[in-house]
Amino acid sequence: MSDDTQNLAAVEAILSERDALHGWLVRLEAAGSSAPESVRARVREDYEHRLAAVTERLREHADTIGNRLAADRAEHDDLAGRARISRDALAEAELRHAVGEYDSEQFERERGRHTGDLETYDLALAAVAERVARLEEVQALVRREPASPEPEAPVAEAAVPAVEEAPAPEPPPPSGAWLPEAQPEQAPPAEAPQPPVLDVGGDDEAALLAIFEPVEPTVEPDAAPDAAPADPVESTGPLSFTPAGDAPRAAEPPRADRSIRVAPSEETPRFVRPSPVKGSELVDLSDRQRMAQHLDTTGVELEPAPVLPEPEVAGETGPRTLRCGECGAMNRPLEWYCEKCGAELTAV
């Protein structure tokens, strides 16, 4: 018992010294002294060194600190239980007084006794709780192990190249087992032959280009058209307008050359209005020329289309009896289009 008391006294002295050193460090940081920084650093280093020595002395009494902490915790629990009992007794006295069992005098006695006990227990609980908190802090400081030096990095061993093991040969198939037939290897497809490259010189290249140049057809100018239109082919019948004494003209023989001929753009067929006589038809005066061109290109003589004789037309100075519906100008009765505005004429 005397040893525990001495140890507790030594622990209290060490704790008091530690608290003093800790307070000096705090005030040193907050003090605004005019001392040089080197002096302030030297004093701080002295306090930190002494605090480390006090902490080391506390580690020597770790068991005593642990036992004292356990005792204070038990005392705190006992005081908390007694305070709870006194509080319940005070509430019971108030209830009995409220129902009329306790009179005012007896209630005052009970309340004074339980209230005094509660005050005592509360003060004791506060003191014990303070000691428990302080001892828990010291115990955490004592149990904290000093920082161990960092372990050296292990020396990397020389990498030994891994030897790959050869795969084990496959076991032979059992006798009588069915084996798939070996597929014949297919030859790669032959490449398509490339066209030969011709090495031509300057003259040969010009000749080769001349072969592929487009050939333009030669166009020969046609002979000048006759001043007078060709006479129509003889037509027989009651409606023929050809005199009996006139003989029909023979067809021109085919020409020897077969070059392509293009009719000049100025040569346009002339159309005349058909005669009101029954059986007359529209006559194209250029059929004869187109037939001649066809004979020049093909060499085959075709039968000419039937052409009716041109009806008798009034002279250029005939009367103008057909009025244009667009401009109102008077035109000859056999005209298709108005000579003034070019509108199509409608026979009335």
- Name the pTM for this structure: 0.36
Q: What pLDDT, on the 0 to 100 scale, is given for residue 126?
A: 93
Share of the chain above pLDDT 70, in %: 48
Q: Whose CA is closest to 125, among 191, 177, 179, 80?
A: 80
Q: What pLDDT, on the 0 to 100 scale, is given for residue 149?
A: 46
| Residues 44, 25 contacting (CB under 8 angstroms) | yes
**DSSP line for 289-325:** HHHHHHHHHH----PPPP-PPPPP---TT----EE-T
Strand partners, 323: 330
Q: What pLDDT, on the 0 to 100 scale, is given for residue 342?
A: 87
Instruction: Tell whether the model's pLDDT for residue 3 goes beyond 80.
Output: no
**Spatial distance between the Cα atoms of 230 and 226, rounded to a whole number of angstroms:** 8
- Is 193 exposed, middle or buried (CB count within 10 Å of its CB: 0-12, 13-18, 19+)? exposed
Handedness of CA 285, 288, 290, 293 (dihedral sign): negative
| Residues 303, 252 contacting (CB under 8 angstroms) | no
**Spatial distance between the Cα atoms of 336 and 345, rounded to a whole number of angstroms:** 5
CA 68-73-74 angle, to 5 degrees, is: 100
pLDDT, mean of residues 253-264: 49
Q: What pLDDT, on the 0 to 100 scale, is given for residue 283?
A: 42
pLDDT band at 298 (very low <50, low <70, confident <90, very high): low
**Spatial distance between the Cα atoms of 111 and 168, rounded to a whole number of angstroms:** 98
pLDDT, mean of residues 76-80: 93
Q: What pLDDT, on the 0 to 100 scale, is given for residue 259?
A: 46
Q: Which of 104-108, 130-134, 206-210, 325-329 has the lowest mean pLDDT?
A: 206-210
Chain position carrying tokens 């050809």: 242
pLDDT band at 130 (very low <50, low <70, confident <90, very high): very high
Q: What pLDDT, on the 0 to 100 scale, is given for residue 197?
A: 54
Which one has a higher pLDDT value, 137 or 311?
137
Two tokens, residue 33: 């002294």
pLDDT, mean of residues 320-330: 88
Q: Whose CA is closest to 251, among 197, 212, 225, 287?
A: 287
Count CB atoms within 10 A of the CB of residue 11. Answer: 20
pLDDT, mean of residues 295-305: 54
Chain position carrying tokens 């004093």: 43
Please give the domain boundaries of the chain with CATH numbers for all domains. Answer: 2-143 (1.20.58), 255-272+281-302 (no CATH), 318-348 (no CATH)
pLDDT band at 65 (very low <50, low <70, confident <90, very high): confident
Query: What size, in residues, is the chain?
Result: 348
